[in-house]
Amino acid sequence: MRMKEENFVDEKETNRLEAFSDGVFAVAITLLVLNIKIPGLDLPPNKLLHDLDLWRALRDEWPMLAAYTTSFATIGVMWINHHRLYTHIKRTNTMLMLLNLLLLLIIVFVPVPTALVAEYLVHPDQHAAALLYSGTMVILAICFNLLWRYASYHNRLLSKNADTRAVSAINRQYMFGPVVYLLALILALFSTPASLTLNFLLALFFAIPPRLPRSLSEQSY
C-alpha cells in the first residue's frame, strides 16, 4: 500500500510538470501574435488609410506573417516532441525538473532568432541571423537529448511497463539530432536558404513518431 501511494504521488507530480510546461508552450506560442502590427491602430478615425493604401500596408507585413507562422510551427513541433517524451516519462525528480526548465528556457527564446531570420530573408547574403537561428536549434536538440537521456537511462523515470521498442526508437532518432542540427549550422555559413530548408526538414522529421520495425509494429497495433 505504501508503494501504491508513492506511485500516485509520482503520477501527480508528472501531471503538474506537464501542466506547467503546457502553460509555458501555450503562452510562448500565443505571444507571437504581438509582433504583428495592426496598420493604423494609433491613427485618428479621419486619418485612416484608404482601401488601396491599406492593402499595400498589409502586403508589407509579409515578413512579420512569415516570422509568425515559422515560430508558431517551430514551437508547436517542440510541443509535440515534449508531449511524446512525457507519454513515456512517468515519474519526476528535482534533476528532471531542472532539465525541463533548461529546455523551456530555450523554447521561450526561440521567437527571437526566428523573427531575426524572417527579417533577413530578403538579404540571403547576410548569414548572422541564420547562424543564430541554427545555433539555437543545436542547443535545443542538446537540451532535448539531456532530458530524454537522463529520464530513460536504466528506465530511471519511465513507467515500469514502458514499451521498450518505442523507447529505443526514440533513442535512435535522438542520437542523430544534435549532429544533423550542427550540419545545418555549418551550412548556414555558406547558404542561408539551404540551412533553413534543412532545419525545416529536421523539424518535420522529429514531429513524426519514430518508425518501429515493421514486423514488430504490425503485431502491436
Considering only 78, 115, 184, 196, the residue that binds its own copies (CB under 8 A) is 115
**If you search the block for the grid coordinates 511497463, which residue do you land on?**
161
Complex with its own copies: residue 43 or 175, whichever CB lies closer: 43
Per CB under 8 A, 164 contacts its own copies: no
Residue with Cβ nearer its own copies (72 or 176): 72
Please give the Cα distance from 159 to 176 (Å, whole number).
25
22 binds its own copies (CB under 8 A): yes
* 3: contact with its own copies by CB under 8 A: no
Rule CB under 8 A: is residue 5 a binding residue for its own copies?
yes
Residue 89's DSSP bridge partners are 158
- The window from 133-141, 148-156, 170-178, 206-214 that contacts its own copies (CB under 8 A) reads 206-214
CA distance 194 to 48: 41
Of 36, 28, 31, 33, the closest CA to residue 62 belongs to 36
Cβ 28 to its own copies, closest distance in Å?
A: 5
Distance of CA 77 to the CA centre of its chain: 5
Q: What is the largest CA-CA distance in the chain?
A: 73
Q: Binder to its own copies among 80, 167, 182, 183 (CB under 8 A)?
A: 80
- Helix axis angle for 192-207 and 177-188, nearest 10°, is 160
Of the candidate residues 4, 66, 68, 137, the single one contacting its own copies (CB under 8 A): 68
Which residue in the set 103, 142, 203, 209 belongs to the binding site for its own copies (CB under 8 A)?
209
59: contact with its own copies by CB under 8 A: no
> Does 38 interact with its own copies (rule: CB under 8 A)?
yes
207 binds its own copies (CB under 8 A): yes
- By the rule CB under 8 A, 97 interacts with its own copies: yes
CA–CA gap between residue 21 and residue 36 (Å, rounded)? 25
Q: Count Cβ atoms below 10 Å from residue 123 Cβ, excluding itself.
A: 11
Q: Which is nearer to its own copies, 60 or 153 (CB)?
A: 60
Q: Angle at the Cα of 35 (from 70 to 195), degrees rounded to 5? A: 30
By the rule CB under 8 A, 111 interacts with its own copies? yes
- Residue 218 near its own copies by CB under 8 A: no
Contact between 98 and its own copies by CB under 8 A: the answer reads yes
CA distances from 174 to 75, 161, 177 (A): 18, 21, 5
Q: How far is the C-alpha of 118 from the C-alpha of 70, rounded, in Å?
A: 8
The single residue among 89, 129, 151, 157 that binds its own copies, judged by CB under 8 A, is: 129
